[in-house]
Amino acid sequence: MATEHRCPVVAHHASPAAIPVWWSVSWLRVTTPPMPSSPPNPYREPGRNRPARWPVHESGNRSDIISVTVCANSRKCIFDREDAVTVILDAWREADAWVIGRYVIMPDHLHFFCGPRNRDVPLEKWIKFWKSRASQRWPRREEHPIWQENEWATQLRQGESYAAKWEYVRCNPVRHDLVAKPEDWPWAGEIEILEWHES
């Protein structure tokens, strides 16, 4: 029987309804009942020591959803404070060429999913923009530099990937012994709703 504090595994059922990517102005807190056992880390390829840097591949009208991991410089634990979280969220909202879906802000790194609103703006340029905005407004100057130079980015290939990778991401605070249950971590949520569609 599953317990609430264990990281879930998502069964791969049918893909979500085929509806276009759209953006909601409302805030949602995503909570999914946990299931037993921990899935493998979907963010790192075997043998890869450098961040993946792939262009967004467009395929017809299929959703383009990217999972991204961004780390603090030297992996400093500087993100899990209310004022730091506010700066990060404000920078994301200001950088509106791409939109953030679900996210988890850990003490020394960020996980989030995003999709393009303006396809003329490359992912890497967009990330540099909001990093710069957040650095300018950072509440503690002694914590500069804030960001590790590179990031990990992976384009999702199917609707189930979004659900499965989110289940892994939302359990990060549990795996790091920060909370007993994913829903107890305060720095996680969803800014915009990214819906998957194949065509």
pLDDT in tens, 22-71: 333 222 233 333 333 334 443 343 333 444 444 454 554 567 899 999 99
Q: Please report where in the chains the tokens 């805030």 appear, as a residue.
A: 27
Q: Give yes or no for residue 184 having a pLDDT over 90.
A: yes
Instruction: Report the alpha-carbon distance of residue 155 to residue 113 in Å, rounded.
Output: 9
CB count within 10 Å of CB 83 equals 11
Q: What is the sign of the dihedral through the CA atoms of 25, 127, 110 and 91?
A: negative
Position 18 pLDDT exceeds 80: no
Q: pLDDT (tens digit, 9 = 90+) per residue, 163-179?
A: 889 999 999 999 999 99
| Topology adopted by domain 66-190 | Alpha-Beta Plaits (3.30.70)
- Position 62 scores a pLDDT of 61
Domain ranges of the chain: 66-190
- The predicted pLDDT at position 171 comes to 97
The rounded distance, in Å, linking the Cα atoms of 4 and 18 is: 31
What pLDDT does residue 19 have?
Answer: 28
pLDDT tens digits for range 110-144: 999 999 999 999 999 999 999 999 999 999 999 99
pLDDT bucket at 7, cuts 50 / 70 / 90: very low
pLDDT for the residue 163? 87
What pLDDT is recorded for position 75?
Answer: 97
Tokens of 192: 């915009």
Whether the full predicted model's pTM is greater than 0.85, yes or no, is no
Looking at residue 199, what is its pLDDT? Answer: 57
Q: Which residue has the higher pLDDT, 156 or 39?
A: 156
* pLDDT score of 105 more than 90: yes
Nearest Cα to Cα of residue 156 among 110, 115, 95, 98: 115
